[in-house]
Structure 1
Amino acid sequence: MAKMIKVTLTKSTIGALPQHKKIVEALGLKKMHSSNEMPDCPQARGAIKKVEHLVTVEEL
């Protein structure tokens, strides 16, 4: 089984760059404190790295 990570939106996207808003939406996060579990892959890690100031990451 592949490793999984849990991504949670901890800061608002109000005032964020439009590109960052799209990345947050692509990660499956819609509202504050919403979470999404996804496989730990390089594509997901790259997207998280771009918006790391808005999200928190937990390894499962």
Structure 2
Amino acid sequence: MAKTIVVKQVGSPIRRPQVQRATLIGLGLNKMHKTRELEDTPSVRGMVRSIPHLVEIIEERDN
């Protein structure tokens, strides 16, 4: 029973540091308003926490 989170890209990577762009790509996001359902792990949470101005957590699910 894995927990998942739904993450949505709300900010543009234009004029952002390369590290932040790479974090978005690592999360599987590359276009505005795109959503991804990701496994809720500490590494994913850390990636989301490192770019809070570009993404938001829409939903947390218990599967």
Q: Same fold (TM over 0.5)?
A: yes
CA distance in 1, matches of 2:56, 2:46: 14
What one-letter code is carried by the residue in structure 1 that aligns with 2:15?
A: G
**What amino acid maps onto 1:59 in structure 2?**
E
* 1:1-60 pair list within 5 angstroms: 1-57=1-57, 58-60=59-61
Bigger share in strand: 2
Count of residues in correspondence between the two structures:
60
d(CA) in 2 for partners of 1:47, 1:56 = 11
| Structure 1 position 30, deviation (Å) | 1.2
Deviation at 1:52, TM superposition (A): 1.0
Alignment gaps of 5+ in structure 1: none
Segments of 4+ moved more than 2 angstroms: none
State the identity %.
38
For structure 2, the 5+ residue unaligned runs are none
